Amino acid sequence: MASSRHYLGGKLIEQDFDLEKVSDFATGKHCVWFDLVDPTPDELHKLAEELNLHELAVDDALNGRQRPKLDYYDSHLFITLYQAKFNRETREVNLAEIGIFVTKNAVVTVRLGTDFDMSPVEKRWDESSELAGFGTSFLLWGLLDVVIDGYFEIVQPLDEELEKLEDIMFAPARTDTLIQKRSYELRKALVQLRRVAVPIREVINPLIKHNGDILHNDMIAYYQDLYDHTMRVADWTDSLRDLVTTLLETNLTIQGNRLNQIMKQVTSWAAIIAVPTAITGFYGQNIPYPGFNEAWGFWVSSLAILLISGGLFWVFKKRDWL
């Protein structure tokens, strides 16, 4: 049995009725919601004839893979949204698409699969039943509110993951491969979230300005609140995306500084090692030199190696090259 609701005068009077009853209830003071999961073309076209839905909107609902949008037609609105969920283990954002037809007395949701979870939406409707008298404006508001709140539930853990990444980046035992992997995972998740969250502004803003024909004007304050939440999500997402970019640049800077430090250490040790190499090489020549075949020549050369090498080591250590 498909999920459905029938309101009359702001009161829920029937649930889970057949598709054939939708057009009968979508009149007068009645308000209905009907949920279609993987509908056949015949089912959706039949409903389109009863509710006077545009064929282009019907094709978009059947084919899916649409961008978040709002389309205006003479008798109805067609809205495409994406519900987003964050997987902490894989650090991926999973998206579920839904198509929404909104007429003056009916809201029809079309889901291609069951990834889009409608239970939180129904719970929101039950918790805000005092607004049910506003009809389809109330039903659409509840659905949008759950979707946008879901975006906040993703941004928060992404923010926490970035804080963890900062700790890893400046830890003594850091791993460049892990930092780069997590940075790109988080950047990809933020790009996916931004792709579906930011266009919601283009959906809600027209509803606030032109909602008198189909939606109830008394719900404007609630839609303005949705718009404010959408702007906060967009701003938060953009700031986190900039932070990921900054972290990537910082990581490259840290790697460059580490490389410079390593080069200084290698060069310093090479300079220290060059001293005994030069002295022993000189005394290894088959020519007479001061201290040749004398014990004091050995001790002088050894002392010179120790003093010069020790002096270089002290200078380099003082300059933090070692």
Q: Is the pLDDT of residue 292 over 70?
A: no
Q: What is the CATH number assigned to the segment(s) 4-254?
A: 3.30.460.20
pLDDT range class, residue 125, cuts 50, 70, 90: very high
CA distances from 248 to 40, 174, 188, 237, 259 (A): 47, 14, 13, 17, 17
Pick the residue with more confidence: 205 or 216? 205
Least confident of 93-97, 171-175, 286-290: 286-290
- Where are the chain's structural domains? 4-254, 260-318
Residue 264 pLDDT: 78
Closest of 141, 160, 262, 253 to residue 203, by C-alpha? 141
Q: Quick one: which H or E segment has residue 7?
A: strand 4-8
pLDDT range class, residue 145, cuts 50, 70, 90: very high
**In 3-state terms, what secondary structure has residue 108?**
strand
Residue 104 pLDDT: 87
pLDDT range class, residue 291, cuts 50, 70, 90: low
Question: Which of the given ranges, 17-31, 84-98, 242-256, has the highest pLDDT on average?
Answer: 84-98
pLDDT tens track for 146-173: 999 999 889 988 888 888 888 887 777 7
Mean local confidence (pLDDT), 91-105:
91
pLDDT range class, residue 48, cuts 50, 70, 90: confident
Q: What is the dihedral of CA 42, 45, 51, 55, to 10 degrees?
A: 170
Least confident of 150-159, 171-180, 298-307: 171-180
Residue 20 pLDDT: 79
Helix 41-51 with 55-63: angle, nearest 10 deg:
150
Q: State both tokens at 238.
A: 């953009």
pLDDT range class, residue 123, cuts 50, 70, 90: very high
**44 Cβ contact partners less than 8 Å away, ≥ 6 residues apart:** 36, 58, 61, 62, 110
Q: Is the pLDDT of residue 289 over 70?
A: no
Residue 212 pLDDT: 60
